[in-house]
Chains A and B, each alone.
Chain A
Amino acid sequence: MNNIDKFYKALFILKPDVEATLSTEKDEITETDFNNVKWVTGENNGTAITTKTNPHSEITWPLVKAEMDKL
């Protein structure tokens, strides 16, 4: 399992069915990458409405990293 799959599995553990987009230049995922995640908050004519401000209080970088390290 690559780090991207681990990242999303960690997200789903913390909040099932969360919708988010991650952009990376490398396999390693850092806190900077986490802070640039585009979180989907809604939809407008088929296009996602996104924000870089994390709207999910149950998802934090330390919690995500901890779950990734278990996988």
Chain B
Amino acid sequence: MALTVVKTTALSGTITNAQLAGSIELTSKVTGTLPAGNGGTGRTAVTGNVLQVIRASTTTTTTTTSTSMVDITSLTVDITPSATSSKIYVIMHVAGIASESSATSGVTLQIYRASGFGTAINMGFGSTNQLGQNATLTALDSPSSTSALTYKGQMRNREVNNISVNISNDTSSITVMEIAG
């Protein structure tokens, strides 16, 4: 008959792989913080890591004759940075841009944060075939804040005619990413 040796005393010092045959009850037999290299929560973000991503989208048609900036309906997103050193990368896609069909028109689109950060582009239109233009804007913000921030899309009319976005049930979106600084 073969004999099996059963160790009844606690192991100490370096434990070999051979001594780990079988399984370990992780919930009660392991303490401490698993290192980042082993996939544990002890990991700390390094510069450039994406910490969170939030997106909002809308199909609502917004039309304006305003010559100063107005909000694009429902094209807004909130994010709370986890550190003051973080940067916020913003991507805004505006779809279905259209002008009144019989006149030369222009529009300014802008990514805007309430506390004063903004970046904008201008688009011009001729007098025909005005439906279905698209534009994508990007911006990199350094808010130095851990408070909730609101980024939103805005537009203004640069001529005397009405300008629309999402004119044909299109979808516009705004995405924000917190980047570790």
Contacts and interface: CB of A to CB of B under 8 A. Distances in A.
A53 to B, nearest CB: 16
A8 B100 CA distance: 9
Contacts of B65: 8, 11, 17-21
Contacts of A7: 63
B151 to A, nearest CB: 14
Contact of A48 (B69, B160, B161): B69
Contacts, number: 70
Contact of A23 (B60, B100, B160, B161): B60
Interface in B22-75: 59-70, 73
Interface residues of B, number: 25
Interface string A28-71: 00000000001010010011101000000000000000000000
B76 interface: no
Given A47-B154, A48-B70, A5 B101 contact: yes
28 contacts: A1-B101, A1-B102, A4-B61, A4-B162, A4-B164, A5-B101, A8-B100, A8-B161, A11-B65, A17-B65, A19-B65, A19-B68, A22-B61, A22-B62, A22-B64, A23-B61, A23-B62, A23-B63, A24-B60, A25-B59, A25-B61, A40-B70, A47-B68, A47-B69, A47-B70, A48-B68, A48-B69, A48-B156
